[in-house]
Structure 1
Amino acid sequence: MATMTNARAALLPLPPADRAAQVTAALADYIDRANLGAGDRLPTERELTIALGVGRSTIRESIRHFQALGVVEARKGSGTYLLRPISGATVHMPLSFETGRLRDVLLQTLEVRRGIEAEAGMVAARRRTAEDLVNIKQKLDEMERVQIAKGTSGPEDLAFHLSIYDATHNPLFKQLLEQMRGAFEHFWEKPFDRPDFARRSFPFHRTLFNAIAAGDPEAAREETLKILAIVEEDIKEMSK
C-alpha cells in the first residue's frame, strides 16, 4: 500500500484560497499517482490536514463528496477506504453548455431535474422509513422557517430535496446530483438576482412531503411536477 511519504505521490500544501474542490482534486490525483486500489485505506484526516494545509472541516467536506459518488467508504474506528480506483478525470464530470445564457442553462437543466426528481419522489414514497420521514420533515420545517423569515431559502430548499434523495435508498440519485451539482445549484442561487424566484412553489413542498409520508408515489410525482412547473414559469417570466 502506498504511503504519504511516496515521493511520486506527495501531497503538497494548497494556497489559502483553495477549498474543498481543490482538496478533492488533490486527493483524487494522489490516489491515481499512488496507484491505490479498491480496499486501500486513505490517509487520515490529520494526515490530510497537515499535508494539504487546510482545516478538518474542508477535508470532511471533500470526503463527503467522495462518499456521495460511491467511491469511498468510512468504516467506524478503522478509517476511510477506497471502493474503486479513481483519478482526477473520473471523480467529477461537470456539465458543460454550449450557451452562456442563464435562461437556456436553467431550462436545459430543468428537463433533467424533472425526470430525476419526479422519479426520486416516487421511489421515496415507496421506500421511505420512519427515520427518513423525520429527516425530511426536519428539513422541510427549517426550509419553511427560513422562507417565512427571509423570503428565500436556497440552501434549505436544496437540503429538503437531498433528504428525499436519501429516502430513495438508491445512492445513484445523490451521485447523479454530485455530477451535476454545478448546473443544479443555479436554481438555489437567486437566478436573475431575484430572491422571489420560484417562491410560489413554496406550499407544494409541504404537499410533496405529505404524499411521501402517505406512501403515494403518483401523488409525490404530481407534487414534484407542480413545483418544477412553477420553476419553469419563473425562468421564462423573469428572463424576459
Structure 2
Amino acid sequence: MDALARYIAQQNLQPGDRLPPERELTAALKVGRSSLREAVSQLSALGIVEARIGSGTYLLRQISAETVYMPLSLSADGLAEALLMTLEVRRGIEIEASVAAARRRTDEDIQRMEAALDEMERTHHREGGSGKADFAFHMTIYDAAHNPLFRQLLEQMHDILERFWDRPFDRPDFAARSFPYHRTLFDAICAGDTAAAAEETRKILDVVEEDIRNMRP
C-alpha cells in the first residue's frame, strides 16, 4: 500500500484523476496483480480511491505514504501497562464499531463475519487459542460498520494492537475465556441489536483486562 501511495504522490495525481491501468501499475511498482489489488482494496477501505465498474479506479483525495500509514507509538513501563493503556482506546473504538455494524451490516457482511468466526472457532478448538484468526474476525466487524475512519485508526494503531493477538506474556490461553462471547456478539450484530452488540463487546474486553492484570509477571 505504501508503494502505491508513493506512486500516486510522485505522479502528482489529483482528486478526480483516474489511476493508470492495472498492467501499467504492476510494471511501475514491480508487483504482481494480487498485491496491487490488495493495495487498491486497502486504499478503497480508507476512502482514498474508488473503483468504478467499467471506468477504472479514481483518486478521491490527495495522499502520501506518510498520511496513509502513520503508526502510533506508546511509551509504557512494560507490556502489561502498554496493553492496559491501549485497551482504554480499544474499548471506545470497538464498542462503537460493534454498534455501527449492528446498524449497517449487509448480508454480505454477515457472510464474511460468519466465515471469519468459523475459522476462529476452528483455530481455538485446534490450538487452544485463536490469535490472528480472532483479529481477522474483529476486522470483519470494523468493515461491517461501513465507516472508513475505523479502518484508518486500525492502520495507525496496527503495531500496538498486534500485541493483543501475539500471545502476550507467552500465554497461548490469553483471553481464551472471551471465546464464547464472539459468537454471541456475532448473533447480536446479525439481529441488529445495538445494545446487545455493545454489551457482548464489553464482555470480551473485560476478560482481556482481567487476563492482563492476572497474567502479568
Please identify the structure whose Cα radius of gyration is greater.
Answer: 1
Q: Percentage identity across aligned positions?
A: 63
Secondary structure of residue in 2 paired with 1:141: helix
Normalising by the residue count of structure 2, what TM-score does the alignment of the two structures yield?
A: 0.90
Distance 1:143 1:232, change over 3 A: same
Superposed CA deviations along residues 138-182 of structure 1, whole A, max 9, x for unmatched, are 221221112111222222212211222222222222222222222
Distance 1:65 1:133, change over 3 A: closer
**What does 1:71-220 align with in structure 2 at a 5 Å threshold?**
71-99=48-76, 101-220=78-197
Report which structure shows greater RCO (CA 8 Å, sep ≥6): 2
Partners of 2:45 and 2:151 within 8 A in 1: yes
Secondary structure of residue in 2 paired with 1:81: strand
Alpha-carbon shift at residue 100 of structure 1 (Å):
6.5
Is 221-230 or 174-183 further displaced after alignment?
Answer: 174-183
> Where in structure 1 do 4 or more consecutive aligned residues deviate above 6 Å?
none
Matches of 1:65 and 1:126 in 2, distance apart?
23
Matches of 2:81 and 2:34 in 1, distance apart?
35
Partners of 1:69 and 1:178 within 8 A in 2: no
Matches of 2:149 and 2:158 in 1, distance apart?
14
Partners of 1:65 and 1:178 within 8 A in 2: no
Q: Kindly indicate whether residue 49 of structure 2 is the aligned counterpart of residue 42 of structure 1.
A: no
Secondary structure of residue in 2 paired with 1:164: helix
Alpha-carbon shift at residue 212 of structure 1 (Å):
1.7
Secondary structure of residue in 1 paired with 2:57: strand
Q: Which ranges of structure 1 fall in alignment gaps of 5 or more residues?
A: 1-23
Is 223-232 or 212-221 further displaced after alignment?
Answer: 212-221
Partner of 1:5: none
Alpha-carbon shift at residue 101 of structure 1 (Å):
2.7
Partner of 1:67: 44
For the aligned residue pairs, the C-alpha RMSD in angstroms reads 1.9
Alpha-carbon shift at residue 183 of structure 1 (Å):
1.6
Normalising by the residue count of structure 1, what TM-score does the alignment of the two structures yield?
A: 0.82
Partner of 2:31: 54
Alpha-carbon shift at residue 38 of structure 1 (Å):
0.6
Matches of 1:99 and 1:124 in 2, distance apart?
32
